[in-house]
Amino acid sequence: MLALRRLRNAAHATLRRPPPAFKTIRSSRRLLSEHATPPSKIPTSSNRTVIQTLLSHVWPTLSDPSLDSAEIAHRKDLRYRVKASLAMMVVAKGINVNVPFCFKWLVDDLTALQSAASSTPNTASTISDIITTSPEASFLSTTPFLLLLGYGLSRASTSFLQEARNATFAKVAQTTIRQVGQSTFSHVHNLDMQFHLISNTGTLSRTMERGTRSMSFVLNSMVFNVAPTILEVGVVAGIVNYTFGTSHALCVLGTIGTYVGYTVGVTQWRTQFRRDMNKLENLGSGRVSDSLINYETVKYFTNEKHEVKRYGSVLKDYQDSALKTVSSLSLLNFGQNVIFSLGLTGIMYLTVDDIIAGNASVGDLVLVNGLLFQLSIPLNFIGGVYREVKQSLIDMEAMFKLRSTIPSVRDREDCEELNVEGVDMNIRFEDVQFEYPSSAERKVINGLRFEVKEGQTVALVGSSGCGKSTILRLLYRFYDPTNGKVLINDRDIRDYSCKSFRENIAVVPQDTVLFNDTIHYNIKYGDLNSTDEEVIEAAKKAKIHDTIMSFPQGYDTVVGERGLKLSGGEKQRVSIARAVLKNAKVLFCDEPTSSLDSSTERSIMANLKEVGKSHTTIIIAHRLSTIQDADKIVVLKEGRVEEEGTHAELLRSGGMYQDMWEKQQDMQVEEEENEIEEEDDDGRLK
């Protein structure tokens, strides 16, 4: 994403603007619409909701009865920091408003001294001469130096208060960012399987990263820029009205009103370009992530140029949106400068007219100029702040939409904790029907009925697409059945909290994906509270300990992204060790050997058989020869039970299982014959 970031930084560095009226590129729009997140999945989130959420963290409640004393003290500290920061802000603005008056009085005093020097005899024609000849003038001459000293102190005090305010508020801002970021991450983990299946991981990561980064700017801008500027505008308008009259005040307010209105209007227009940039950035990030994760696949099919072309098309559309942002920003800045220059010229004209009429002094011209220029800094800043706040709110918009997404599978309010300590854990599927939301017209599970009793080993077999893996997803409650029930001890699993029954089910998946961390960490993930000795014991039971110890770094060996540094068999053994360490009541193995060779498959299945002696075991099997010893074999067809029984019973019945068995036996014989034919005269494989 380096190229995207550079383009984005270029758009920000010019600091502000969309193109006068470039046509939106159709291909870009089409690209965005094709990859947009389905609106039904993520609800809208208004700016008001975003700001309210932030403020609830900035000014946290103290009335929650669940808070302990440490948390209450922490929240009180945050409130104190907010109050102290606001107090320093008000004092700093008050001091800052006095600076133009220092200049006015300085000019008026120097003008008075100059006039006095001009009216004296030729022997005292300078201010210095007046000081030496006139005690009154000598007294007056000290005033400019005092005013200069006051000016310096005012600037220094303002700067000190601003920096002290920033340092004081930093903890509030960073605490808010941490809490919102952490709660968002937690919420994403609590979303249902369907959401994650249709979402791009790179896009989700980018959404959270950009949203949390924008929070700091929004917090500081709203508290220390927008509110103070409004206060300062009111104070300056009041001073101008009191000192110079209504016409001057109306000129100031008219300039500011026009400036703000123009800024808001143009910024609203520019918002579309920023949204396009964000969508394209998400799309680009997702494509980069997807391409790099599938690095091997890209190499196998020599499709590097295709991947670069796909990514380049996104960069091109992103570049077009970035250029629109930069160009329109130039238009916005130019308009702001024109409005302010016209307003400044108008109020200075009125003041000069007053000076000519004898109603004002030269110092008043300096005063009104200083007041307006003093407003120009926060006005220019608030123009930029408004733009950046809008852009930051857009950046945060997707994150808060994500936070407001309601998972389709969640605990009931009255759910109970499943406690199977010392009791059997029986599982039953009762007339279960289910179809995936993305293919509602096809029932994957259609009237499924079978039972798994405590201590049994039950195998699920059937052709591809008959619903075997879906059974795991229903049992783990990644989805809820459309009709029917999944029961544990004769109670619907929806009566229990998801966490409580998931803790009692360990899974060895078909495709083991490991964290890019050490082998020790990946095994310990089964029970984060386990000791090193327990981790090693689990590895021994999974027959992976000796292999691990043969690595130079042993258990501290980093497995690489998705565990790619390990072989398929090694990854599966790590997965088994992880399941062993969890020590759950039920062990569910989802075709754990489907991608392994025959020798490794036999070894893995022997491990699982040994491990499963102390568990209720459910195995989804590809090769029937590996599950002959199962207590019960359930044969599935089109989402329902076709037949069930032991291996011997099913062979005698002459049904679907017997056909599958005979076909696999014929294939096995053929494979063995091929291996024999490939042996040379020395008995070695060619």
| pLDDT, tens only, 301-320 | 778 888 899 889 888 888 88
CA distance 423 to 392: 54
Count of other CB atoms within 10 angstroms of residue 463: 12
Q: List, in sequence order, every residue forming a beta bridge with 632; answer none if it has no partner.
A: 458
Higher pLDDT, 506 or 278: 506
pLDDT surpassing 70 at residue 226: yes
Confidence bin at 199 (pLDDT 50/70/90): confident
The mean-pLDDT minimum among 164-168, 335-339, 379-383, 675-679 falls in: 675-679
CA distance 580 to 582: 5
Count of other CB atoms within 10 angstroms of residue 26: 8
Average pLDDT, the chain: 79
Q: Which CATH class is domain 2-404?
A: mainly alpha
- Residue among 93, 373, 51, 375 at smallest CA distance from 221: 51
Question: What stretch of H or E contains 659?
Answer: helix 656-678
C-alpha 85 chain-centroid distance? 28
Q: Pairing relation of β-strands 427-434 and 483-488? A: antiparallel
CA distance 422 to 213: 49
pLDDT surpassing 50 at residue 18: no
| Planar angle of CA 588, 592, 593, nearest 5 degrees | 150
pTM (two decimals) = 0.65
- DSSP string of 603-618, one letter each residue: HHHHHHHHHGGGSEEE
pLDDT surpassing 80 at residue 593: no
> What is the mean predicted confidence (pLDDT) over 583-603?
76
* Ranges 208-222, 329-343, 608-622, most confident: 329-343
Confidence bin at 11 (pLDDT 50/70/90): very low
| pLDDT, tens only, 491-527 | 999 999 988 888 889 988 888 888 888 999 999 999 9
pLDDT surpassing 50 at residue 3: no
Determine the length of the chain.
Answer: 686
Task: State whether residue 654 is helix, strand or coil.
Answer: coil
pLDDT surpassing 50 at residue 17: no
Give the pLDDT confidence score for residue 303 in this predicted structure. 83
Give the pLDDT confidence score for residue 438 in this predicted structure. 72
Give the pLDDT confidence score for residue 658 in this predicted structure. 92
Give the pLDDT confidence score for residue 645 in this predicted structure. 92
CA dihedral of residues 519, 522, 528, 531 (deg, nearest 10): -20
- Interhelix angle 135-190/201-221, rounded to 10 degrees, is 150
Residue with tokens 């000014």: 59
Give the pLDDT confidence score for residue 14 in this predicted structure. 36
Task: State whether residue 86 is helix, strand or coil.
Answer: helix
| pLDDT, tens only, 670-680 | 766 665 665 55
Show the 3-state SS of 101-154. Answer: HHHHHHHHHHHHHHHHHHHCCHHHCCHHHHHHHCHHHHHHHHHHHHHHHHHHHH
> What is the mean predicted confidence (pLDDT) over 326-342?
86
Question: What stretch of H or E contains 364?
Answer: helix 362-404
How many percent of the chain have pLDDT more than 90? 13
**Which token pair is 397?**
């918009």
CA distance 238 to 370: 15
Confidence bin at 29 (pLDDT 50/70/90): very low
Give the pLDDT confidence score for residue 520 in this predicted structure. 94
Count of other CB atoms within 10 angstroms of residue 532: 10
pLDDT surpassing 60 at residue 9: no
Give the pLDDT confidence score for residue 627 in this predicted structure. 86
CA distance 259 to 341: 11
Q: List, in sequence order, every residue forming a beta bridge with 616; answer none if it has no partner.
A: 586
Cα torsion angle, 504, 508, 510, 516, sign:
positive
**Domain 427-650 adopts which CATH fold?**
Rossmann fold (3.40.50)
Higher pLDDT, 47 or 284: 284
- Interhelix angle 362-404/246-293, rounded to 10 degrees, is 30
CA distance 68 to 528: 26
Give the pLDDT confidence score for residue 458 in this predicted structure. 92
pLDDT surpassing 50 at residue 39: no
| pLDDT, tens only, 620-660 | 887 888 888 889 999 999 889 999 999 999 999 888 999 99
pLDDT surpassing 80 at residue 611: no
> What is the mean predicted confidence (pLDDT) over 559-587?
85
- Residue among 236, 245, 255, 238 at smallest CA distance from 350: 245
Confidence bin at 141 (pLDDT 50/70/90): low
**Which token pair is 125?**
């024609």
pLDDT surpassing 80 at residue 581: yes
Give the pLDDT confidence score for residue 524 in this predicted structure. 92
- Interhelix angle 26-34/304-356, rounded to 10 degrees, is 110
> What is the mean predicted confidence (pLDDT) over 394-408?
82
pLDDT surpassing 80 at residue 49: no
Give the pLDDT confidence score for residue 43 in this predicted structure. 44
CA distance 400 to 207: 10
Give the pLDDT confidence score for residue 36 in this predicted structure. 36
Give the pLDDT confidence score for residue 134 in this predicted structure. 54
> What is the mean predicted confidence (pLDDT) over 608-620?
80
pLDDT surpassing 90 at residue 329: no
Domain residue spans of the chain: 2-404, 427-650
pLDDT surpassing 90 at residue 375: no
Distances (CA, A) of 381 to 16, 263, 376, 390, 579: 11, 11, 8, 14, 57
CA distance 307 to 286: 12
pLDDT surpassing 80 at residue 601: no
Give the pLDDT confidence score for residue 135 in this predicted structure. 53
* Ranges 4-18, 223-237, 500-514, 516-530, most confident: 516-530
Distances (CA, A) of 465 to 139, 267, 469, 584, 623: 100, 52, 9, 28, 16
Residue 400: CB partners within 8 Å, gap ≥ 6?
45, 49, 50, 53, 211
Confidence bin at 249 (pLDDT 50/70/90): confident
Confidence bin at 238 (pLDDT 50/70/90): confident
Contact 562, 513 (CB under 8 A): yes
| pLDDT, tens only, 117-140 | 666 555 545 555 555 555 554 444
Instruction: Identify the burial level of 330 via C-beta atoms within 10 angstroms of its C-beta, where 0-12 means exposed, 13-18 middle and 19 or more buried.
Output: middle
pLDDT surpassing 90 at residue 485: yes
